[in-house]
Structure formats: C-alpha cells, structure tokens
A and B are shown apart, each in its own frame.
Chain A
C-alpha cells in the first residue's frame, strides 16, 4: 500500500494543471473521493476510483482539500475530490420558532450556515437523528425541512 505523506500541490496550480492535462489524455488521472466529514483527518486509508488502496499520513500542519494532488508521477496522478457535503435546510415558520431553533442548534453544537430565513445544518449522520433532536418544533410543523447538497469547495 502506498503511503502518502505530503500533498504535491493543487490541481489549480498552472504547472500541475498542465501535467494533469497530459496525463488525463492517457486516462492516467485517478480520483480519490473523500467524504466531506473525513477531510479534516490527517491519517486515513481510502480506495481510489481506480481501485488502489492508499494510506494518507500528513504532517499535522497540512490538511486535505478539494483538488489536492497526492501523486504526480510520470505515468499517473491521484487527485482528491471532496464528496458533496449534505446540509439539512430548516425553515422556521416565525420569529419564535427561529429563536427556539437557534437555541437548540447552538446547544447541540451543530455546524450551521445561514441562508436568508433558513438555517442550514451540516449533516454528519442521517437527517432523522437531527430532526429527532428538535422534537415538537418539527413534528408540530413550526420548523419545516429539506435536504441540500452542495460542494464544500463551491
């Protein structure tokens, strides 16, 4: 198993992009898809789309990112692609519901973003687990919900 202990660079770096472009013509660019929840790990094992199992062991000051180039050999490359992060969209019916929702989200240490009148919660598990925590806010219809997929890098 190949152990990756450094990131070669970004696929957006002009010189790297140039080399990737040539390798891509030869179908020699392999993708390592990583779940957004796993991106902060310095060490993990993962399998590329091409089926190669690799081990990542980065120094603590480095982290993975979308487009990180892990291998750039003369005959092949491996590039990280972040899995789309899933967000639970929560829409409070009124100000009172919004206050209550905000209280719960903070109390539960959820990772959130704001989008207009809605609260987006980053999902690290099934949405039901999150909805259950909101109890009658959700079951009573004072907060409605839906799923959002968006790329971390976007």
Chain B
C-alpha cells in the first residue's frame, strides 16, 4: 500500500486501485516513460501493474515483461485491432476486464497504468476506464504539434513533451514549443521530459501521486 494514502485514510479503503492512462502518437515515448516511472513509483511504495495496448501484437507488454523492472505477471496486453482509440474511448470493455483481472490477481494494488496503442492527436481516454490521463508528444514530432490543437493535447490532465534531448538535432526551439503548449491548454499541467536520461520523470511521478493517490 502507498504510505501516504495509508496515513491519510483512517478506515481501510474500499476503493479499488487508481487507474491512469498514457496515450499519444506512435513512438512518442509512452513505453519509455513507463519504464522510467516503474522504479520511481516503486521507490515511493506504490504497488502497480500495467496494461498495454498494441494494434495486433503484444510487443510493448513483452518489452516491459523482459525489462526486469517489474514482475512479468503484472503486465497484461490488450490487442486493440485497427483502431487503438476505440478500446480506450468508445468501448473500453477489454481494457476494463484486463484491469479487473490484474486487481483480482494482486490485491492491494494502488495503481494501474493503461498504455494506449500509438494513435493520432485525436485520441482521448474514457473516464469510465481511467481516472486521469497523460498524453505524450515528442519534440521530434515537430514544434507545430501543440498548434494543431488535437483533442488529446488539449484535454489530457497532463501533457508530457518528451525527447527534449533531441531539440537541437531537429531544429526545435524548445522553450517556444513549451510555452505554446501551455497556451493552447489554457495553463493546464505540462511537463517536459527526457526518457533517455530520466529528466522530468520525478515531476511526472509527483503529478500522478498528487492527482490520484492523494499525496500532499
């Protein structure tokens, strides 16, 4: 059990694990972010499990299982078929079932992370599936991404702008891209990360713990 939640909750919690989503375009670094978050969250006493979504394979689940970062039994895969947003928005039944199975297998779970299959800027999560969600875009995708005002970028609870290390290599003015992202989101939360080096990962973990695990 999460330490902070235990001290904050006098009666044994009836609620099930918090569920968060991580979505974003293909290759923006969703799995890389999760690989970085696992040890950071574990270090804070968060008991977690993961559901990945891929189009027609279980590639991301296999990668996480092989990573040595987490008990392979705590990673579950959903094959999304051709439309990755359908299984996180219109009909999240498969994902809900995968989450329920993990909760049944690991009582005391604090957090379930759902990685969406790589999609376009329009993908959003159903709040029936998750309580809170992150959208990951990357610097190499172009500094015009925020300006395109995709629903994923606009509506997510936290926007992560990843691969900051690549900015000089792809001719991106990072501060300008970040301020534009903040502007289109009306000031809602945004964090810049480098999943290679780990920069910004602690801040993402802080945001998760604050929003759904009620850390101070």
Interface residues of A (CB under 8 A from B): 1, 3, 5-6, 38, 40-45, 55, 57-60, 108-109, 124-126, 129, 132
Contact = CB atoms under 8 A, between A and B. Distances in A.
Interface stretch (B10-18, B43-51, B58-66): B10-18
Measured as residues with beta carbon below 8 angstroms from the partner, the interface class of chain B is 20 to 34
Contacts of B13: 3, 5, 57
A17 B9 CA distance: 27
Contact of B214 (A6, A55, A60): A55
Given A1-B214, A43-B131, 17 more contacts: A3-B5, A3-B13, A5-B13, A5-B15, A40-B127, A41-B127, A42-B131, A43-B132, A43-B211, A44-B211, A45-B210, A45-B211, A57-B18, A60-B16, A109-B122, A124-B155, A126-B186
Contacts of A59: 14-16
Contact of A41 (B132, B154, B210): B132
Contacts of A6: 14
Nearest to A54: B214
Interface of B: 5, 8-9, 11, 13-16, 18-19, 89-90, 96, 122, 126-128, 131-132, 149, 154-155, 186, 210-212, 214
Contact of A3 (B9, B90, B186): B9
Contacts, number: 59
Contacts of A60: 16, 96
7 contacts: A1-B214, A5-B15, A43-B15, A43-B18, A57-B15, A59-B14, A125-B155
A45 B214 contact: yes
Contacts of B149: 129, 132
A57 B8 CA distance: 12
A1 B8 contact: yes
Contacts of A5: 9, 11, 13-15
B212 A40 contact: no
Given A3-B214, A44-B131, A129 B154 contact: yes
A56 to B, nearest CB: 9
Nearest to A55: B214
A60 B18 CA distance: 9
A43 B214 CA distance: 9
A145 B210 CA distance: 39
Contacts of A132: 149
A3 B8 contact: yes
Contacts of A44: 131-132, 211
Contact of B131 (A1, A41, A108, A129): A41
Q: 8 closest Cβ contacts across the A-B interface?
A: A40-B127, A43-B131, A57-B15, A55-B214, A5-B15, A5-B14, A43-B212, A3-B9
B163 to A, nearest CB: 26
Nearest to B149: A129
Q: Most B CB atoms within 10 A — which of A41, A60, A109?
A: A60
A86 B87 CA distance: 27
Contacts of B8: 1, 3, 55
Contacts of A45: 210-211, 214
B83 to A, nearest CB: 12
B196 to A, nearest CB: 31
A57 B16 CA distance: 8
Nearest to A2: B8
